[in-house]
Each structure stands twice: as structure tokens, then as C-alpha cells.
Amino acid sequence: MRDVAVIGVGITKFGELWDVSFREMIIEAGARAIEDAKIDGKQLDAMYVGNMSSGQFIRQEHTGALIADHAGLVPIPSTRVEGACASGGLALRQAVITVASGIHDFVVAAGIEKMTDVLSGVAMGALATAADQEWEVYVGATFPGLYALMARRHMYEFGTTEEQMAMVAVKNHQNACFNPCAQYHMKVTVDAVLNSPPVTLPLKLLDCSPITDGAACVILAPAEKARKFNDTPILITGTGQASDSISLHSRPSLTSLRATTEAAKAAYKMAGVGPDDIDLAEVHDCFTIAELMAIEDLGFCKKGEGGKVTQEGETAIGGRIPINTSGGLKGKGHPVGATGIAQAVEIVQQLRGEAGKRQVDGAEIGLAHNVGGSGGTAVVHVFKRGD
């Protein structure tokens, strides 16, 4: 296989973008990536677009061709990739495989979701399609409810507290204040999180990621060609994907996502690194408990110690392993199809040294972790400076 590098990144503002259309968002993110890569759009060979549910959010399917058309990239192959909230990460993985295999040289991996043009109930219904319809949704389970079950079990087994979960939100909102693309530029306190309206206890409103519009894009190339376009190409040295049962009742544990542990194992092996080599990570914090479980499953701390290391500041910028410097899904926002690509954009900017006030000093190796649903799908990528 060929080594693969990121040569360009682009991202829109995340938020409630009522005055911007689906088509306009993806074109904006793509144009920024092309400008960043200093590449001519005519050189692009293929495109993979992560998108979870455009059919329900904007009543539009067949978005691969739609995007290629409006980007002026016809007739290149453009493929929509769907894996619930992991759609963006899976699109990136397909793009990596395509370049590594030698089938194409310059490939776009993009992600987009337009979620706020429908009422919140419709949006929640669309998101619920990522859960098991027969065994979970039919009997009233929601994603806050499913993650609340995980939180309760984590609290029971390891003594994790609601205050420790709240500290995830506090940290990620703090980081988002320094990200111009983030949905929320507001700090929160532990008390504010604990006293926010209950959603499904122990999860409160400020434990949950928001409904968001946004798009993100990266451009990949063979490493040997990357320096012609960018002085600081970032290599993707590892990629891993794994699946688990879509429903919680079929899993051996409620406190660990097997798809995450298996995807991480594959990505670490391919990259030739371990958890201790990672300088920073973007993880899938759709709920605050999800971040605690993720840093455990990725090997950044022992199982059950996620709350403790968060409380001690180890996951803050300047800590041992900074997590979600972008603000994460919690502060940056969670346009589900775009999230995995937005994570890659943040890692690339960090490794280039372009993250401004949220910069992690001396960052050389980063990781992105994207989850679909309650853990039925997970994808992990390892990035390294191409010095």
C-alpha cells in the first residue's frame, strides 16, 4: 500500500444555519479545502461523502451525485457513505483505502448534515433510526436513554460521578470558545451542567451534544506527491473500523464499546503506535459519559478511571492527553454526517501548529475516534506529522 497524506482541509461554521443550504455548505467546505491544498479541482479523482440522513432531514437522497454536480466535479465518482453518526469517519476511511490502493491519487473525503430545517421531534426521529427499531425504539428508547443506561452502569461499577461527567462538558465548552467554527462560544460551570434540565437522568441538557448544521472536507493524496502541494502534509498512518450489535441488550458490557476497542487495536497496529504515543485525540462525546468511556476504550487510562483523569485535568489542553481540543461534539456541535471529518480537520490543524489558542504544544501524533449510534460502528484514525 502507498502512504497517504492529508494535503487540504476545509470546514464551515457549525450551528443553526437556517440561511445556508445543504448545497452551499458542502461547496464552502470543499472550496476551503481546495484552497488550502493549493490544488486545482480538475485534479480530483474521486469523492466520498459522509451523510447520515439527508432523506429525512432535507428530503434529498442521491447526494453523492448532487454534490459532484454542484461542485463542478462531474464526472468523477462520488459516493455517499452512511454509518449513522460515524458516516464522516467511514467516508475518510474509504478515501484512505482508495488512495493507499493506488486506484486514485487525489481523493476528497467530506461530511455534511443539515439538521435544523425540521422540527426537533422530526430530527430526533431521524437520529433514532440509528438504533434498533424493533428492540429499542419501538418500546420508547432514545439515544439519551441508551447512554443514560451506560452512565448508570458506569457509576455503579466504577464510582463515576455526575460531577465528573459534568467536567467533560466544562472542558469542551472551554475549548470551543477558542474555535471560530464551533457552535457554542460559551463557558459552562459544573453547577450549570448539574442544574440544567433533566433529559434522561443522570444525563442533563448540558451533558448532551446539540442538533447542528455543518460540513467539513479533507483532501488526500499519496505521500510521495503531497509535498508538491503542501509544506506540512499530515500522514494518516493507521485506520481501523469495527462493528458491534446495534442494540445494547446483545452486548457483554454496558461500560465499554467493543467496536471502539477493536477499531483502535487495528489502527494502532497499522500505525505502529500505542495509546502512550498519542499526543491528542478527538473522541466521540455525543454525551459526556461517551467521552469517559472513549478515553478508557482507546487505552488512555484504565477502565473505570475516565472520570478521575478528567477531574484531575489530564484531558485538558496542557494535560497529559488533551481530548477534544476543538470543543468536541458537545461544544463544537454535532452535524452527524460531518462529525468524523471535522475531527480529522482539527487533528490536522493541531499537527500543523495552526490551532491558535487551543494549540497543543509539540503535537506530533493525533487520533480521531468516530462512533455510530450507541456503538454499533466505530472508526479510528491515527495521524502523524510528515516531517
Ramachandran assignment for 10, one of left (phi > 0), alpha (psi -120 to 50 degrees), beta (any other) = beta
- Grid coordinates representing 263? 477499531
Q: How far is CA 275 from the centre of its chain?
A: 18
Q: Is 334 a catalytic residue?
A: yes
* Of 85, 181, 217, 301, catalytic: 85
Identity (one letter) of the amino acid at 323? I
Please report which residue ranges of the chain form alpha helices under DSSP H.
22-37, 54-57, 63-70, 87-101, 120-128, 143-158, 162-176, 190-194, 223-226, 258-271, 288-297, 306-311, 328-331, 339-352
Which strand (E) or helix (H) includes residue 359? none
Q: What share of the chain is helix, strand, coil (3-state, %, to 5)?
A: 40, 20, 40
DSSP state string for 155-176 = HHHH---HHHHHHHHHHHHHHH
Which one from 104, 173, 334, 381 is the annotated catalytic residue? 334
Where residue 214 falls (left for φ over 0; alpha for ψ -120 to 50; beta otherwise) is: left
Q: Cell digits for 44?
A: 480530483
Residue positions annotated with a catalytic role: 85, 334
